[in-house]
Amino acid sequence: MGEIHSIQYLRAFAAVAVVCFHVSEQFNGPFAVGAAGVDIFFVISGFIMWVTTARRPTDPRQFMWRRIVRIVPLYWIVTLVTAAGIFLKPQFFYGHELSWDNLIGSLFFLPVLQNGSLHPVVIQGWTLCYEMMFYIIFALALLLDEKRRLAATVGALLAIVVLHLFWLRGYASAFTSPIVLEFGAGVVIGRLWMKDIRLQLILALSLIGGGVILLGLAQALDPEMPRVLRWGVPATLILGGAVFAERARPSKPWAWLQFVGEASYSIYLWHVLVAIIMTGVLLRLGVPSGWRPVLLVMLSLAASALLYLAIEKPLIRLFNRARRKEPAIRHAAVQLGAAVE
């Protein structure tokens, strides 16, 4: 995955888009399309899961453990810090809900429902509930050979969406949202990419351009269009175009975009909390209202990137060291068992 630089670029783009969306929403701005960054993340997730497990034996339990240690520790940290903030200064956290039920449920990806939607303590954490569900589906599909794995994964996601048509309620309705098809779209693109499919550069760039145009047009023409069509289809075109354009014409990586892409998970999780704190700082400093949105975006991105360096990156190193030690420990245990026998 480190060789597919366009994935990191798109993660950077998606993270910045979501930050801009939330800041715009805070000031009643017009950048609703920024929420499509989530849909790009979902398509990327499907792509990455396929590419990183194809052509190699992958144990489902090991796969799930790696996903958990990659996602959960930072999410729990941000959830607990946010909960502390809500408890201490509830007036600053408009729209957040803190209760024991929601705190425990949020930590285990079953937050409370509001108007039929998942509403965890970290509001944007609703996406991780779908991510974890997709990981479980994909882990089960890993029990199959690669030829049947694609059909099983996409078929399961389609079946889930079909269930949504039966007017389910509660969690059953929330977790069968058609948005889960975006993971399937990423899996399909990953399969094509691993098959060494190649597109002419002009066609790949056209897919990117078409996806960007559709993002703007769909929101302007029909904001009530189902999300999986309004933003999921453009996100799929953009990802497909990006990875195949890179294959058609490789280029040297852009270090700053690579960094933002690597920090995108931290940016996504921290930015709302950081923006709330920065809003208070800007108000105390008397910064004119016209400057606040731009400053909030810049400060939120900068502070969240620093938190990536201070918290997430050390966590990744810690778990990577532990994972590298596993084979040695296992080998030592085998040797000890043999000696005892």
pLDDT of residue 339: 39
83-105 residue pLDDT tens: 999 999 999 998 899 999 999 99
pLDDT at 335 over 80: no
192-205 residue pLDDT tens: 999 999 999 999 99
Distance CA 240, CA 237 (A): 5
Residue with tokens 């080998």: 331
Q: What is the pTM of this model?
A: 0.93
Phi-psi map region of 135: left, alpha, beta (phi>0 left; psi -120 to 50 alpha): alpha
pLDDT of residue 322: 75
Helix %, strand %, coil % of the chain (to 5): 80, 0, 20
- Burial 86-120, CB ≥16 within 10 A → b, else e: beeeeeebeebbbeeebbebbbebbbbbeeeebbb
Q: So where are the chain's domains?
A: 5-262, 263-341
Contacts of 69 (CB under 8 A, 6+ apart): 319
3-state secondary structure (DSSP) of residue 118: strand
Identity (one letter) of the amino acid at 101?
D
pLDDT at 110 over 60: yes
198-237 residue pLDDT tens: 999 999 999 999 999 999 898 788 878 999 999 999 999 9
Q: What is the mean pLDDT of residues 257-281?
A: 96
Phi, psi of 95 (to 5 degrees): 85, -10
pLDDT of residue 208: 97
CB 264 within 8 A of CB 310: no
25-56 residue pLDDT tens: 999 988 999 999 999 999 999 999 999 999 88
